[in-house]
Amino acid sequence: MSRSVTLTATPFDAVDELKAFNVAATGAGAVVSFTGLVRGTTREGAPVMVLVLESHRTLTLQSMEDIAAAAQARFTISQSRVIHREGRILPGEPIVFVATASPNRRAALQAADYIMDRLKSEAVLWKREVGPAGSDWIEPTADDSADLERWHDDGRSHSE
């Protein structure tokens, strides 16, 4: 089992990352990936000129590593890759990439979903959207909390 976690201020190409992940995932029966992009508008529909992600490099990387390790312990995955941006990110640019490989699709799908739910709510990152009207901090929503809670019911999701 292998996992890779990267926190970067440099833009990345999700297509290239997925190609490399597929090559490394020899023998897997399933590969699942997710790429999150910076939206050009706020939840309220106001324009976003840039998303700023602030981190405490050591704590942020540790939180990301912990999430990836938990996914590997919980699901039958052979490999995972997590990339998260920090710094100033423009609308349309990838902000996060998650890929998982497994002998079967269910574990790969669930592991990727689990990693994303935990990254969204638990990774040590501070987000703010900057637009013509100024800057606003982004907090996890009630939906984000509900998404995260389903993994805490009994230590397993209901479909495992």
Question: Are 84 and 127 within 8 A, CB to CB?
Answer: no
**pTM assigned to the model:** 0.91
Q: Strand pairing partners for 6?
A: 83
The number of domains in the chain is 1
pLDDT tens per residue across all 160 residues of the chain: 799 999 999 999 999 999 999 999 988 999 999 999 999 999 899 999 999 999 999 999 999 999 999 999 999 999 999 999 999 999 999 999 999 999 999 999 999 999 999 999 999 999 999 999 999 999 888 888 888 899 986 444 434 4
CA distance 49 to 6: 25
Residue 159 in any domain: the answer is no
Containing domain of residue 55, as a range?
Answer: 2-149
What is the spatial distance between Cα 80 and Cα 51, in angstroms, rounded to a whole number?
A: 26
Enclosing H/E stretch for 74: helix 57-74
Q: What is the DSSP letter of 160?
A: -
For residue 156, being part of any structural domain is answered with no
Residue 158 included in any domain: no
Residues 6+ apart with CB under 8 A from 116: 34, 36, 96, 98
